[in-house]
Amino acid sequence: MKADSIHRLEAWALIVGPVMALVFFLIEPGAILIDPVDSTDSAGKITALASNPLLAHLSGLFVPLGLILLLYGMAGINRAVTGTDNASAGTRFGLLSATMGGFGWILVNGLDHLLAETRVSSAEALEAAIPLYQTGQGITLISGMVISLGLLVLSLSLAAPEPRGFHRTAALVIVVVSAISLAALIIGHSAPSETMVTVGRACYFPWVIWFIILGSRYLKEERVATDA
């Protein structure tokens, strides 16, 4: 990869974007840390969002912002890996899939803003909000699978031209992680199994670490190219 083909802003976006999205997902009410509930518990999730509207609105704003930054950084990678070989084609497919899946996750966060305003003291209002949450769950399922597939292909494409070493190993680890996420999401939402959903969510962490590694690498290469 050419050192001067990744701008420092794109490299920083690869670092900041996924971290921001993950942090605010962790504090999203009803998700992992704040009033966690099963993904199949529609009423519980809506109640958690409505009981913590400030956190719900913050996560609904900053998770999409983090995803947009991440996609911006990934676009820099896509521009750098040019050509007509399999690695270049795979990288373009990975970016397209991640963009489509990221857009779905952004839509779901938009729905969370509405759910956070639900009057859970009213049985009618809570019942009316449940179909909205279930719609978001459907979008989340498809988006998660599309993102997992995209990152699987992207990491495999980036690993192919790499020489043996740390970065090739890291990319291959992400190939395995993404395959696990894809399988877990399919099984977890088809059965359904909350354990499999949890396994799929756990894959976010190595993804974030990998993007930090990529962003840091490109920052270092950009500084070397500038000094040269």
Residues 6+ apart with CB under 8 A from 190: none
Q: Which string of DSSP letters, residue by residue, matches 115-144?
A: HTT--TTSHHHHHHHHHHHHHHHHHHHHHH
49: pLDDT strictly greater than 50: yes
> How far is C-alpha 98 from the chain's CA centre?
8
Who has greater pLDDT, 189 or 153? Answer: 153
pLDDT digits over 210-222, tens only? 999 999 998 887 6
Domain count, the chain: 1
Who has greater pLDDT, 36 or 79? Answer: 36
**Residue 2 belongs to what H/E stretch?**
none
How far the first Cα of the chain sits from its last, in Å, is 16
Who has greater pLDDT, 120 or 225? Answer: 120
pTM over 0.85: yes
Res 226: pLDDT: 53
Res 2: pLDDT: 42
Containing domain of residue 222, as a range? 3-227
The proportion of the chain whose per-residue pLDDT surpasses 70, expressed as a percent, equals 93
82: pLDDT strictly greater than 90: no
158/144 Cα distance (integer angstroms): 21
Q: Which amino acid makes up residue 25?
A: F
223: pLDDT strictly greater than 80: no
Q: pLDDT category, 1, cuts 50, 70, 90?
A: very low
Res 157: pLDDT: 92
Q: Which amino acid makes up residue 12?
A: W
Structure tokens, 13: 């976006």
Compute the average pLDDT of residues 126-142. 92
